[in-house]
Chain A
Amino acid sequence: MEITTTEHKRCIVVKAVGRVDSYTAPELEEVFKGLNDQGGYKLVFDMTDVDFMSSKGWWVLIETQKVCKRYNRGELVLANVLDRIRESLDLVGMSTYFQIFDDVTAAVGSF
């Protein structure tokens, strides 16, 4: 899976392309953990090109959110989530744990 990170003034944007499933989720986890380890807690996950996401992927985001929000030091927000992915997120009630923005610019601007 292709994952890129871009540093902005007040946050870091992580962009993934393709499927996030049990096979690829560990790659995503590694990227988020690496950013947290370097003190990056204000994060945007750009999901424009994520076309599939299983619960394994959601757990990576949930665990990252727990780390980011601890001590009020930051937050992980999501941008441009496909409707079908968002619907599955709603089914397990996980959408309540994230702010979801329609585009990356708005997500970056939220910090």
Chain B
Amino acid sequence: MQSVRVPAKYEYLAQISKFVGKAADDANLDDAAIYAVQLAVDEACSNIMEHAYLGKGQGEIICSYEILEDGLKIILSDMGKPLNPEDVPVFDLSATLEELNRGGAGIYLMHQLMDQVHYETDPQLGNKLELVKRKERQ
């Protein structure tokens, strides 16, 4: 398993994106799936920086990956505030332009882009988000 550890600051998003892009390429995902992984990871990391670390630019994110037989697993770990799923607003796809509200869009997008999204939190070990993207069946 390979990993990269970066400060939880927005300027490191491009570096994480490059790292997971290469991982997805090594896992032989197609171009659309590579972009999906990069976008899902970007949304997840932005949420960690903004909500888990409260946008203070402190703390770190560890991004690891594992190449699976049929795809790629990305693991994001942080020691920030745990996510309470009940606090995440449900993203409303049918809203009019004026009603449209940004809450929950990142998480909604993550679920749409990836085949598996699993989150767990532990008082000692911190938060862990696993994202799995599987190869398109030929």
Chain A residues within 8 Å of B, Cβ to Cβ = 19, 21-23, 52, 54-56, 58-59, 62, 65-66, 69, 84, 87-88, 91-93, 97
Contacts and interface: CB of A to CB of B under 8 A. Distances in A.
A21 B97 contact: no
Nearest to B13: A21
Contacts of B108: 92
Q: How large is the interface on B (under 10, 10 to 19, 20 to 34, 35 or more residues)?
A: 20 to 34
Contacts of B43: 54-55
Given A21-B10, A65-B97, 5 more contacts: A52-B17, A56-B46, A59-B102, A84-B31, A92-B112
Contacts of A58: 105
A66 B14 contact: no
B97 A55 contact: no
B97 A92 contact: no
Contacts, number: 68
Contact of A52 (B38, B100, B106): B38
A65 B98 CA distance: 9
Given A22-B49, A22-B50, A97 B109 contact: no
B13 A97 contact: no
B35 interface: yes
A55 B49 contact: no
A58 B102 CA distance: 10
B85 to A, nearest CB: 18
Interface string B108-121: 11001100000000
A93 B94 CA distance: 8
Contacts of B13: 19, 21-23, 54
Contacts of B17: 19, 21, 52
